[in-house]
């Protein structure tokens, strides 16, 4: 895609700190890191989101995520790593080229806001009804 910022990174028109590359994916450091080691993994073929991305590219990204998460573990010995991926402007996806975030939390680092929420008991009837609605749409 001509105007896509991540496609420009893939084409080398915008620089990045490359962490990993193979035929299908590129991984590089996020320029606004939520924590040290914050890494983005993207497909080389442009797709906006989970609905658009071909399964093959999705698998390639997740294969790479295991490799890179292992490298982060060895390199930084974090307390843990959040794996996060946003789909749609309604959930604050900013760059409309599919990307998987790997966000390590340092041993003595602050809680990551994306991995910290209050647990409130749900309404079981509502959970059941919504689960059935979703599963009936699985093809």
Minimum distance of ligand 5GP from residue 37's CB (angstroms): 13
- Helix, strand, coil % (nearest 5) of the chain? 35, 20, 50
Which residue in the shown chain puts its C-beta closest to Zn ion?
4
Q: Is 58 helix (H, G, I), strand (E, B) or coil?
A: helix
Q: Is 99 a catalytic residue?
A: yes
Q: Enumerate residues 28-47 that contact ligand 5GP by CB under 6 A.
A: 28-32, 40
Minimum distance of ligand 5GP from residue 38's CB (angstroms): 7
In this structure, what token pair is assigned to residue 58?
């999705």
For residue 47, state whether it binds Zn ion (rule: CB under 5 A): no
Q: CA dist 116 to 37, 39, 82, 103, 119, Å?
A: 19, 20, 11, 13, 9
Q: Which residues bind Zn ion (CB under 5 A)?
A: 1, 4, 6-7, 46, 97
Can you give the binding site for ligand 5GP, defined by CB under 6 A?
Answer: 5, 14, 16, 28-32, 40, 86, 92-95
């Amino acid at each position: 895609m001509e105007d896509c910022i991540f496609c420009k990174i893939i084409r080398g028109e915008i620089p990045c700190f490359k962490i990993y590359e193979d035929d299908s994916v590129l991984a590089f450091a996020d320029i606004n890191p939520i924590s040290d080691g914050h890494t983005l993994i993207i497909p080389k073929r442009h797709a906006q989101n989970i609905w658009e991305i071909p399964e093959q590219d999705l698998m390639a990204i997740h294969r790479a995520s295991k490799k890179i998460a292992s490298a982060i573990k060895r390199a930084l010995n974090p307390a843990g790593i959040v794996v996060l991926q946003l789909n749609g402007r309604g959930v604050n996806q900013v760059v409309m080229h599919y990307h998987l975030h790997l966000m390590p939390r340092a041993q003595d680092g602050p809680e990551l806001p994306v991995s910290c929420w209050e647990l409130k008991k749900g309404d079981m009837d509502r959970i059941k009804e919504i689960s059935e609605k979703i599963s009936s749409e699985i093809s």
